[in-house]
Structure formats: structure tokens, C-alpha cells
Chain A
Amino acid sequence: MPLIRRDPSGASAPKLEGDAVTQLSDANPDVRWKAARALGKQPDAVPALAAALHTETLPQVREAIFTSLVLIRTDASARAAAEFVRSEDAALRSGALDALAAMPDVVERILSSLLQDADSDVRILSCDLARTVPGDVATRLLGALLQAEAEPNVCGAAVEVLAEVGTADAIGPLTACKARFPGEAFLGFAIDDAIERVGAERLDMNG
């Protein structure tokens, strides 16, 4: 029998030596990866993790940093991740969204302010996060956005999410939004679709 059993317990566990925060900027990517992972239980490491995201270029280390922000799971760690939703770097924007989606309870607390961000790109991407919160909360927050939002692309993003998770309470804001943008064919198409979906849900629930 050529297959040989070997006791795996002798395998060496790599140890993190020294200060993980300092090691976030080490020249060796393995050290940076381990440092990023080691900080996942330290709320006071949030500023250091956020700073590291500004300089880190290696995708897997970025991923590990975002995961540590997820594991810390405070308003501060969520806001630190949310800052990268406005990054010039599309990969960081995606990474930030994935991280925020993994902490829905915290997102629920900061979503309202994200949806009012001055940057319309941030508002668009934040709509997507509403998918992770309960349907009635998403309906309330996105419904409020639809009443006032000036940018049709942002409305489109909100409508998309409402079609997926919204309740029948979204019908009013959806209808009003359609009336505000008579020239936007795609938005009208999306709103009709969303109304049909959230409306069908109401009929089904009662019937």
C-alpha cells in the first residue's frame, strides 16, 4: 500500500511575531496577509486597517483586510469599509460592497446616511446594500429616497432592489417616482415591473 498515513499534528503553524499593525505595511505579502487576518478581533485596529486599504494593491490582502472589518463588526468598521464605496478603484468599491453585505445588522444602522451621501455613485451602490436588510426596512429607506432623488440612475438602482425585496408599501413612492421622470423610458419600465412584483406579493399574502 503506497499511501502512507502521516500524523498532521506536527505541521507548523505560522506565528505572527511583533506588532500586527506595523506588519500591515511589511514588504512581504505573506506577512501583510497574516497581519490583516490577525486584526479581525481588535476594534481599535479599524483606522490601521482602513489606512492599509489605501496602500495595499494585492487582491487577497485587500480581501483579508475587508474580512477583518467584517469580523470587528462595529459602526466604525462599517463606516471605514463604506468609505471605499467612493474609491476611484473599482475593485475597492466591489470589495467594500461585499464587506458591507456581510454585516447586514450594522448596515441597517448606517444605510440611511449612505443613501443621503452627496456622491450619487455612493448612493447607487448603497441601494444594493438594502438587499441585505429586512424587506420593510428596505422599503421605508428606499421609498424615502425615491421621493426626493434627482438622479435617475440612483432611482433605477433603488427600484431594482425594491422589485426584489420590497413590500406593497413601495407602490406609492414607485408611482410618484415614475411621474417625476416622464422622459426616462428604462426607469418607467423598471418601475412598472417593480410595482407588479411587490403588488403581486400583497395579493398573494392576503389571498
Chain B
Amino acid sequence: MNDVLDVTLRLLIVFVVFLTFPLIVGQTEHKVMAHMQGRLGPMYAGGFHGWAQLVADGVKFAQKEDVVPADADRRIFQLAPAVALLPYLLVLLAIPVGPGEGAVGQVIDAGIFFVLAVMGVGVLGSFMAGWSSANKFSLLGGLRTAAQLLAYELPMLLTAASVAMAAGTVSLVGILDAFEWWWLPWQIVGAIIFFVAGLAELQRPPFDMPVADSEIIFGAYTEYTGLRFALFLLAEYAGIVVLCGLTTVLFLGGWHGPWGADGLGWVWTLLKTAVLAFVVIWLRVTYPRLREDQLQKLSWTLLVPLSLAQIALTGIVKVVIQ
């Protein structure tokens, strides 16, 4: 009975986090982006500085008609938003927030494998959407998504492998247990590559060619309306939370901090995740979209060789230490 209660509580907490954190990131993006552009952003919804803007948006989306194009592959089309969104919920389950077993939804031995594999499934959602929409723009968007997934999954996996080599384990909890502060400079190149590749996989600007609205309308999501469209948007922000959380856990030491590691570890994790989320927004505001070929070039000629170099460095240091 106690076990059931424990599991239910964990699932509930993860679910609440899954529903609230993306909205917090979204609202922060509204405000930060506005101020970076000399604007105020939403000011009316909810009364105080437009805090309820995304709630209002959600209500608006829920009221809209759910249209499925006549020529669309109906079932796939309707399933795609769920495929895009749910993997991030599963990943969230495996991210350790604090030390000990109490602060993680579910301890998974092969944590890195699970997390990266499931995150890759999320991209399938927009590919399904693009393929099933019976729309050329959607198809183009879906193809770009697929190309982007191929190009950026590799450096992401390689850098994650580098961390796993350093820790000698593929468990996320195990990696954090083995973490030392000097891993930070040691793995810094890998951290940057992981973060950039993650951004590209989430299709966040400046890597948002699959949804490039000035070129292909809204890519794979062109035909979507109402709540299903909102789910795709939610998936993007859930993806930001997951990516920032994973980068924190793998490269920034998660709940390790200069002080207050006992009991306050989860504050460190949340703080680092929040700072990374800010960086995600900051990058979006600052940089224009890359061209499709520049995107491929960045991955294959820069990120992949650099991540291989990072693995070599990790291996050398590992051998020297032992």
C-alpha cells in the first residue's frame, strides 16, 4: 500500500512539474524577449504584469475548432501531438533533482540511454505531423526535422558518451555521485556541444528551420489548429525544461554546489536549469535563423569533430588518472 502511495505521489509531482515548468519558461520567454527588444511584453492578462497570459492562450486554443484536413492521414495526424509531447514527460521522470533516491521520479540504471532514446522519439512527433498532413509545406518541415535529427543526434550522443566515460557509469544518479568540480572545465566543450545540439533538436531559434515561418509557413505544424497545435508548442517548452535539466545533470553537476549540498541540492538543480533556460531564450532573441545548409555544415564539420575530440580528451585524462 505504501509503495502504491509512493509511486502515485512521485508520478503526481512529475506531472505537475511537467505542466507548470514549461509554462513558467514560456512566460519568462515572453517577458525576457520583450525586454531584450525594449518592449514590456504581456501586461494585462491576470492583472499583474500579464502573469496569466499563457493560461489565457491555453483557453483560447481550447476554444478553437480542431480541424483535420480531408486528405490527411487521420489517425497519424491526430496522434502526432501526443508523440511529440509524451516523451518529455517520460524523460522528466528519470532526471534526478537532488541527492538520494527521494529526489528522482524513477532511478533507471541505463539513464543516459533511456533519456536520449526517448528524447529522439519526441522528434518523431513532428515528422509524423509533417508526413500525415498532406501539405507540401508540412512535408518540407517534416523532412527538415528528420535531417536535423540525423545531424544533431550524433554529436549529442557522443558528448553524452564522453560524460558516461568520465563517470564510468550510464546511470544519471551514478554520474552525479561521481561528479567532481574539475569536470566542469574538463567537459566544457562537450557541454556546449550537447546544449547546442539539444537546441537544434528542439527546433529552437536559431535552429528553427523546420518551422521557419517566413519560408514554409509553420513547417510540420501548418495544418494544426486548436489544442493539438497548443500541444506542439507545449512540447517545445517541455523540451526546453528537459534539455536544460539534462545539461545540468550531465555537465554542470546537478545538485552539487559550492555550499549547501545537504538538503538544498534540489535548489541548485533548479537554479542551474533556470539559468540554462534563460540562455535558451537569450540565444533565441539574439541570433537570426541559420540557413538549412549552414545548419548541416555546423553539425557535420564543427560539432561532430569537436565531440570526437572531447571523447579523446576524456579518454586520455581518464587513463592518466588511473
Q: Is this pair of chains taken from one and the same complex?
A: no
